[in-house]
A and B are shown apart, each in its own frame.
Chain A
Amino acid sequence: MFRKKSKKQTEITTAALPDIVFLLLFFFMVSATIRPPEELLKTKLPQADAISKVNRKELIREINIGIPKNAQFGTEPKISVESRFIDVEDVSRWAVEQKESLPENLKDHMIVLIRSDELVHMGLIADIQEELKKVNARKVVYRTLEE
């Protein structure tokens, strides 16, 4: 009896499957921004619990601090932005440039995302923050991983 029934059953049409998959594909293409991983520095992020999400992605500018992956650049912590090394003194200039790239009404809302290796000393971080204060880029987010 059962066999008879199952024999009658028609095949499930898979015609709509490509559409579904394409929909998924477009969703991921739109929601995921392609960002090349930081290739110059080793940045093992610290962990934190009380983290919050930054809602306005367009305001974010990233700065990396860590020890160079390539030993020829030394073993001291360095700063990198957009895959190039910069000195501490240049951070304020970089911040001004980044501010300029934003629309006039959003300039003072720029958020500097600090991606720093957990073993970097606070002295360097403080120097960077001083540079940022100089140009009134005072909103910072310490990028951390969830615990």
Chain B
Amino acid sequence: MLQQDYSIESILKNMRSKNLKQEPINSGSMADIAFLLLIFFLVSTTLAQEKGLSLLLPPKTEEKIDVPIHERNLYKILINSQNQFLINNEPKTSLEGVKEEVRKFVMNNGADPNLSINPEKAIVSIKANRGTEYKYFVEVLDEAKAAYYEIYAERVGLTAEQYRAINHDDPIEYDMYLKGKEGIPMNISIAQPD
């Protein structure tokens, strides 16, 4: 009869020899598993996109302050509850050409007596009706902002798209951004709808 050896040394030796015999785990399917996970995450997550039209609302004031604004410094866009536009007292059905008009209005610098005195004083006023659909308000705001961005971009020799994509963390690019904006505040006023 063979005597079984239960000493620690022999057990360890036994284990070690087993380990040595063991084949490496096949990792060929690892790529497949990783791909599966990757695809799952790609499909299930949406990259957080925080893109949109930004705006700073006016501060809440109790009493109404009447600031005298010269008629010529105001570019008025009204939208009624039927989603029709009234631009500087002229009814319009589409917003075609509004961007160009806003640009001309802002950059007038006193040339045309009906348009703004200087870019700092120029105000684009947007007023909607309570019944106006949000979509049309956004359209108007988009046109106004696009006009300003085009002005800014032109001053630093970029396209409007490049200007909007400027990285604010890069000092050189940010400097360009400030240069484009300098002296031309984006005066877009959103009036309380009635």
> Which A residues have a C-beta under 8 Å from some C-beta of B?
14-15, 17-18, 21-22, 24-25, 28-29, 31-35, 37, 46-55, 57, 60, 111, 113-114, 116-123, 125-126, 129-130, 132-134, 136, 138-144, 146
Question: A50-B164, A122-B131 known; 13 other A-B pairs, CB under 8 Å?
Answer: A15-B27, A31-B47, A32-B41, A33-B45, A35-B46, A46-B138, A48-B52, A49-B146, A50-B160, A54-B52, A57-B50, A138-B56, A141-B55
Q: CA–CA, A33 to B48, complex, Å?
A: 6
Q: Is the CB of A142 within 8 A of B31?
A: no
CA distance A96 to B137 in the complex (A): 27
Chief secondary structure at chain B's binding surface: mixed
Residues of B within 8 A of A (CB): 27-28, 30-31, 34-35, 37-38, 41-42, 44-48, 50-60, 79, 128-135, 137-139, 141-143, 145-146, 148-149, 160, 164-165, 168-169, 190, 192-193
**Cα A117 to Cα B41 with chains together (Å):** 28
Nearest B residue (CB) for A66: B134
Query: How many A-B pairs with Cβ below 8 Å?
Result: 164
**Residue among B41, B52, B143, B164 with the highest chain A CB neighbour number at 10 A:** B52
Which of these, A18, A54, A118, A123, contacts B27 with CB under 8 Å? A18
